[in-house]
Amino acid sequence: GAGVSQSPSNKVTEKGKDVELRCDPISGHTALYWYRQSLGQGLEFLIYFQGNSAPDKSGLPSDRFSAERTGGSVSTLTIQRTQQEDSAVYLCASSFRTGDSPLHFGNGTRLTVT
């Protein structure tokens, strides 16, 4: 079956512009996560959704970052007024349930801010 789908796969933007990253989770997965991975680094947690609500936004780096999820499915991560330090790979994952169910990741969106 289809895995987690993310778009675009690559995004180059100028500093100060807004960007939207999209995630389409595996059908039936109620939990959705956003992570960020900088070059050669591990994964940094950003935000978690259970259904359409976000019980944990603790990882969002600043108020320039926001995310929403509609219909318990597709999620959008928005970065406003992008900065060069926002350059990274943004990974989305989904899981069937929380607590003891593995996350399944998409291939990410590589964001480059020039």
Residues at the contact surface with other proteins, assessed by CB under 8 A = 4, 31, 33, 41-43, 45, 48, 50, 55-56, 59, 91, 93, 98-100, 102-108
86 in Cβ contact with 14 (< 8 Å): no
Least gap, CB of 93 to other proteins (angstroms): 8
- Residue among 27 and 53 whose Cβ is closer to other proteins: 53
- Residue among 103 and 113 whose Cβ is closer to other proteins: 103
Angle at 98 between CA 96 and CA 103, to 5 degrees: 60
Backbone angles phi, psi at 86, to 5 degrees: -80, -10
